[in-house]
Amino acid sequence: MPRAILDAAHIHPAIRERIANNHSDLVREVLMAVANNPVVVVGMALNPAPKRARRALEAAGIPYKYLEYGGYFSLWRRRNALKMWTGWPTFPMVFIKGTLIGGADDLARLIKSGEIKELLAGA
């Protein structure tokens, strides 16, 4: 089921561009990393979940690109643009071959089941 997103017809024309460009540089940076790397982890400082995701990938011998944006008290407004873009409410955001697979726990399940190898192989 697709997530609910406010239809553009219900957004005043005067603010549509501001919404579309809200920290779009950050979204573009993540899009570029996702396009150029099979595995991307987007995280934030001091959060143990991104560290757990990175350790799980390292233990499985899977290379990844890591992007870190601020901590609990910095860059939260910029990170919010990523949450709005993906619909994923927490960090890390883990992408495999361009697909958001969730966070650290979701990644751990894919590694444990072996499904991550299928995803990386393009199956």
Q: Which residues, at least 6 apart from 86, have a Cβ–Cβ distance to it below 8 Å?
A: 93, 100
Q: What is the mean pLDDT of residues 83-90?
A: 94
Q: Is the Cα dihedral 28, 66, 69, 1 positive or negative?
A: positive
* Coil, helix or strand at residue 86: helix
Phi and psi, residue 33, nearest 5°: -65, -40
Residue-wise pLDDT tens digits, 41-70: 999 999 999 999 999 999 999 999 999 999
Q: Is the pLDDT of residue 93 over 60?
A: yes
Please state the CATH superfamily assignment of the domain spanning residues 12-121 in this structure. Answer: Glutaredoxin (3.40.30.10)
Q: In what order do the strands lie in the sheet with 39-43?
A: 65-68, 39-43, 93-96, 99-102
d(C-alpha 99, C-alpha 106), whole Å:
13
Structure confidence by residue, pLDDT tens digits, 23-33: 999 999 999 99
pTM above 0.85, yes or no: yes
At 3 the pLDDT is 85
CA angle in degrees (0–180, nearest 5) for 68-85-59: 40
- Asked if residue 103 has pLDDT above 80, the reply is yes
pLDDT of residue 37: 98
Domain regions of the chain by residue span: 12-121
pLDDT at 112 over 80: yes
Q: Tokens standing for 72?
A: 């609990």
Instruction: Supply the pLDDT for residue 122.
Output: 77
pLDDT reading at 123 higher than 80: no
Cα 122 to its chain centre, rounded Å, is 19
